[in-house]
Structure 1
């Protein structure tokens, strides 16, 4: 989208984007809540998790060893530089998944950097562990080491549980909200779980972004959802079945 900046059309596009995004997030949150029992850490870690019932010794030991390796790999790296070791049993304060806005930096041709929010992709976190607060703690030179430790622990726990949930990725893809694992700005190599909607959003040209940020007075912007992206929606199952019909004829 490289159209010249027009205030009225931009406001309309932003309102439409927000309305579509709100609806998509409601659907994604509902699916996530329904599937959350599949990614609870308690069955995987058993007695290695505070308050959890004893599990299968060999299996829970395997998951804990994998998780300890994962934690050791990422916690000591930038920007965290944690030296705290895992204490058993692990203390997971809240294991209810929640969706948080996905944000990233975009550099304009002028050299300034804009913080962009996606209205069609969300980061999965645990309730009470807001992603923006995690970013603030990670960037704060006077941060609390124990608070940062809890954030890293919980987001890595969620990544471990989602990445070990057999078939969950295929199920979410079938629901049109595919799951992916990716790194985010400001968090180094830490892997996050990201849910995408069936509708894509994108950035307009730098001129539109620059004018918008100058009017708002802050360097933040939200991707836009166009009607074209909705018109391009496809039913994957329908396409697969049509292909079968063609090849079987």
Structure 2
């Protein structure tokens, strides 16, 4: 049964979601900024990166070979279909990671598609390479192949650096803002770094989504954070400590 659309309740849910989301995003951005030196490409790639100091020859070569294989795997495939090869040294314009909104589509009907925004998960990208602009370039029939290649290189560079940062994943999980690697619709098999948070958000009944978008005239909708989300937050360390105590052998 479709839930009735209560405008006042919906408005309060949107306000609550926005307040919590803003606080979480600020905290996530702070963590990302503090840990940014751990995922800078310069120490990994050394002389293979334009303007970077010379690194360890063997290690830099290893990272470049791994990155070139990654680029060859994804750049020539749909939807990019790039024929260009990598230029050496690599020209990385920006190495400052930032957060972009995570969006996905749902179909309310075969003719009605809604873009959904997550208030508690974000795509990690570089400051000069906005995710929405990346989508525009991919879908532009007159796109510049060089601009598209720059986007592919930078997002793959970020993925490579995060995947090679030993211990960073555990640290971010302990901070309650875990990093995962995901594919996004419209970007083929390109892997993206997605930062989560300690709270979940969900979609209400489709009837509420439909009525909200009809009233607003928009084709986008933001997930909502439930009243009990904060009360049900879990502390992984607390649970591990309690489990350790429970599993202690009893004296005989």
| TM bracket, shorter-chain basis | over 0.9
In 1, the alpha carbon distance for the partners of 2:142 and 2:204 equals 37
CA RMSD of aligned residues (A): 1.0
Q: Deviations over 1:176-195 (max 9, x none)?
A: 01110000011111000000
Counterpart in the other structure of 1:242:
242
Counterpart in the other structure of 2:178:
178
**Greater Cα offset, 93-102 or 237-246:** 237-246
1:79-90 matched pairs, under 5 angstroms: 79-90=79-90
1:108 aligns with 2:112: no
In 2, the alpha carbon distance for the partners of 1:178 and 1:227 equals 23
**Greater Cα offset, 229-238 or 59-68:** 229-238
In 2, the alpha carbon distance for the partners of 1:111 and 1:20 equals 33
Q: CA deviation at 1:153?
A: 0.5
Counterpart in the other structure of 1:156:
156
Counterpart in the other structure of 1:19:
19
Q: CA deviation at 1:175?
A: 0.3
In 1, the alpha carbon distance for the partners of 2:109 and 2:84 equals 42
Q: Deviations over 1:95-148 (max 9, x none)?
A: 000000000001114641100100000000001110001111111111111111
Q: CA deviation at 1:3?
A: 3.6
| Contact persistence 1:109–1:206 (CA under 8 A) | no
Q: CA deviation at 1:232?
A: 1.0
1:1-249 matched pairs, under 5 angstroms: 3-109=3-109, 111-248=111-248, 249=250
Q: CA deviation at 1:161?
A: 0.2
- 3-state DSSP class of the match of 1:29? helix
Is there any run of 5+ residues in structure 1 with no aligned partner, and where?
none
Q: CA deviation at 1:4?
A: 2.2
- 3-state DSSP class of the match of 2:247? helix
In 2, the alpha carbon distance for the partners of 1:110 and 1:64 equals 45
In 1, the alpha carbon distance for the partners of 2:188 and 2:162 equals 20
Name segments (4+ residues, structure 1) moved above 3 Å.
none
Q: CA deviation at 1:80?
A: 0.7
TM-score, normalization by structure 1 = 0.97
- 3-state DSSP class of the match of 2:173? helix
In 1, the alpha carbon distance for the partners of 2:62 and 2:236 equals 37
Is there any run of 5+ residues in structure 2 with no aligned partner, and where?
none
| Contact persistence 1:98–1:127 (CA under 8 A) | yes
**Greater Cα offset, 78-87 or 222-231:** 222-231
| Contact persistence 1:105–1:113 (CA under 8 A) | yes
In 2, the alpha carbon distance for the partners of 1:156 and 1:62 equals 16
In 1, the alpha carbon distance for the partners of 2:164 and 2:172 equals 14
